[in-house]
Structure formats: structure tokens, C-alpha cells
Amino acid sequence: MHPAFSVILFTTSHGAGYGLLALAGVLAPLGLLPQDPWFGFATMALALGAATLGLAASTFHLGHPERAWRAYTQWRSSWLSREGVLATLTYLPAGLFGIGWVFAGRLDGVWGAFGVTAAFLAIVTVFSTAMIYRSLRTIHQWANDWVPVIYLANAVLSGAIWLNMLLLLFGRPWPGFAWFAAAAIAAGWALKIAYWRYIDTTRHPSTAGTATSLAAYGEVRLFEAPHTQDNYLTEEMGYRARPTFVRRLRMFVHLALFAVPIALTAATAMLPPAIGGAVMVFVFVLSGAGILAERWLFMAEAKHTVMLYYGRRRV
């Protein structure tokens, strides 16, 4: 599939923002995060700002953005619609949670309940985003159970990186959380390796023969191209990334999103806050580049079964 930057920005920014919101919504009411209003403001601004940026970016991919509101009406049958509804609903408890944290200086009672509710809705929203892709049975690289798990893992690891950075920048180091963040990154790494192994070793059950119902007569091959130039299908659904580039970009993801962030995040548990904060700012930037590359690969490596009609024997 053709990697559209608007969709890549949407899924990465949106996921990281809701990952941070989910962690803050659970940890703050438990008294594990600073009650400082400025810390609360920075956390909520970063979480909701990233989520809003992602949602805004998603409209750039629409042919008619002015009709985006119609998606809300299809929640009974569409994961895209459910994602939009849930993303919008999340703002209500998240906003009230932020008001309690920043203006009332309260994280207990009903204010804490708003945080837990926002955390729940944030996780369900990220799950719904993943299910948009998981539900597409015509794309083997997406229609598998690894996809929602990886989306959730990426949201948690991104949110953990961002929260650890904020803790250190505000001079509130929490070594235990730094180790948790490193563990979350390691778990995300293991899941991504398993996903790549899955898509590298399996194929969609459909073939050119099953697609044309001619498999019983022998191997089916394309005799002549259906047209003389590319069209929408071949450009959007038949996108081909060079294997060498894919291998190099995978290596970059291994390093930028996983290996280096694990080591540096774990190191911040033993560093002074000033140095640790600077290190986490670097991790924030590096992992951001890594997750953008990871999501580009997620799109580019996906093969639609429609390409069976354009000469591909397997997808």
C-alpha cells in the first residue's frame, strides 16, 4: 500500500498522545505522579496536543474533509467510525481530569475517576484505530492479531518515553518508571520482531488461481497487462518498496525505536535529573523518527489481493 504521510502522522502522533494520556490517567490518581499543576499542564498539553495533531492529520487524507462528520454515523459497522467517536469522547473526561490536576490541584475522588475513564477510552481508541487495519481481510500483512497488539504496545512505549522525559525535565526522577519504560520498549521490540517474522514467512491464502477460479486448470499467469499505464490501484495498492531499502529501514527501526532507546532510558534511572532529561529529549526525537519509519514500513509492506489481477501470483 502507498504510505500516505497524513496516515503515518495520524497513527503515530495519535497513538503516542493517547499512550501518554493512558499512563497519566492511571498513575496520577494513584499518587505516583507529581501533583504540581505545571507538571500536569505539560503532561496534558503534550498528550492532548499530540492526539489532536494526529486527528487533524487524518483529515488530510480525505477527498472531501468537509464530509468527515458523516463517519460518526457509521459506528455500528465501521471501525473507522468507532475510532472517531471514541477519540472525540475521550476529550471530555481528559479535559475534566486536566482541570482537576492543573486548576483544582486535585487528583483524588471524582477527578481521579475522570483520569481513569480517560485512560480507558484512550486505550480503546488506539485499539479501534488498529482494528481499522486488522479488519481488512484482503491485506494479509494487516489482517492478523499482531496488528492491534503492536499498536497498543507502540502507544504504551511512546507514552512511557514521553512521561519519563517530563519527569526528568521537571526534576522529579522516578527510577522505577525509567525501568518500566525500558521494559515497555523491549516488549514492543519483541512483538515487532515476531510480526516481521510472521509477514516474512506467510502469505495470503488467495492466489491468481483462486482469484480467477481457474486454479483447477493449472497455474494461472498473466498473459497481458490489463492496461498500458499505471492507475489508482497500481499506485495505491500495488506500491513496491525496494527490498534493499526495506531491510535498511528495518535496521534503522531496530536501532532508533528500540535498541538505543532501551539502553538510554534504562540509563536515566541512574543519572542526575539534568543529564537524564537531556538524554530523554534525545530519545524522544530519535524514537519519534523510529516510529515514523516503523509506520511507513507497516504501510509499504502491505500487499492488497487486487494485485493478483495485475500479474502477482501471491501476496
- Residue-wise pLDDT for 32-69, tens only, equals 999 999 999 999 999 999 999 988 887 776 666 666 66
Residue 12 near residue 115 (C-beta atoms within 8 A): no
pLDDT value at position 62?
Answer: 66
- The whole-number pLDDT of residue 78 equals 87
Total-model pTM:
0.93
Q: What local confidence, expressed as pLDDT, does residue 63 receive? A: 63
> Which DSSP symbol is given to 137?
T
DSSP string across 28-43: TTTT-S---HHHHHHH
Give the residue among 85, 65, 64 at the shortest CA–CA distance from 73. 85
All cell numbers assigned to 108: 483524588
* Confidence at residue 217, expressed as pLDDT on a 0 to 100 scale: 83
Helix (H), strand (E), coil (C) string for 247-303: HHHHHHHHHHHHHHHHHHHHHHHHCCHHHHHHHHHHHHHHHHHHHHHHHHHHHHCCC
Cβ–Cβ < 8 Å for 262, 185: yes
How is residue 63 annotated by DSSP?
Answer: S
Distance of CA 170 to the CA centre of its chain: 27
SS3 state of residue 314: strand
Which residue type is seen at 93?
P
Low-confidence ranges of the chain (pLDDT < 50): none
Beta-bridge partners for 139: 304
**Cα gap 253→263, rounded to integer Å:** 15
